[in-house]
Amino acid sequence: MRLHSASMSELHAFVAVVRTGSFSRAATELLVTQGAISRAVARMESHYGKQLLQRDSHQLGLTPAGRQFLDEIQEPLAAIEAASVRLRLGNDGGHDITAAVVPTLAHVWLIPRLAAFHARYPDVQLRFVPYRSQEDFSGSTPDCAILTGLGEEQWPALACEYLIGREVVPVCSPARAAARHEQGRWQTPDELAGEPLLYHTTSPGAWTHWLRAAGARATAPNLRQSYDLVAGVIQAAIADFGIGLVPRFLVQAELDAGRLAVPFDLPILSQRGYYFCTPAHRRHQPGVAAFRSWLIETAKGEIAAMAMSGHGEG
Topology given in CATH for the domain delimited by 96-160+281-308: D-Maltodextrin-Binding Protein; domain 2 (3.40.190)
Question: Do 96-160+281-308 and 167-269 come out as alike in CATH topology?
Answer: yes
First to last CA, the chain: 45
SS (H, E, C) the chain: CCCCCCCHHHHHHHHHHHHHCCHHHHHHHHCCCHHHHHHHHHHHHHHHCCCCEEECCCCEEECHHHHHHHHHHHHHHHHHHHHHHHHHHCCCCCCEEEEEECHHHHHHHHHHHHHHHHHHCCCCEEEECCCCCCCCCCCCCCCEEEEEECHHHCCCCEEEEEEECCEEEEEECHHHHHHHHHCCCCCCHHHHHHCCEEEECCCCCHHHHHHHHCCCCCCCCCEEEEECCHHHHHHHHHCCCCEEEEEHHHCHHHHHHCCCECCCCCCEECCCEEEEEEEHHHCCCHHHHHHHHHHHHHHHHHHHHHHHCCCCCC
Q: What is the pLDDT of residue 257?
A: 95
Q: What is the pLDDT of residue 194?
A: 93
Contact 275, 161 (CB under 8 A): yes
Contact 200, 230 (CB under 8 A): yes
Contact 159, 280 (CB under 8 A): yes
The amino acid present at 285, given as its one-letter code, is Q
Q: What is the pLDDT of residue 93?
A: 47
Topology given in CATH for the domain delimited by 167-269: D-Maltodextrin-Binding Protein; domain 2 (3.40.190)
Domain ranges in the chain are 8-89, 96-160+281-308, 167-269
Assigned CATH class of 8-89: mainly alpha
Who's near 95: CB < 8 A, 6+ residues apart?
Answer: 89, 123, 124, 125, 286, 287
Per-residue model confidence as pLDDT tens for the chain (314 residues): 677 888 888 888 898 888 778 888 788 777 788 888 989 899 998 889 999 998 876 677 889 998 899 888 877 887 787 677 666 655 454 578 999 999 999 999 999 999 999 999 998 999 999 998 888 887 778 999 999 999 888 988 899 999 999 999 999 999 999 999 999 999 999 999 999 999 999 888 999 999 999 998 877 899 999 999 999 999 999 999 999 999 999 999 999 999 999 999 998 999 899 999 998 888 888 899 999 999 999 999 888 887 776 666 65
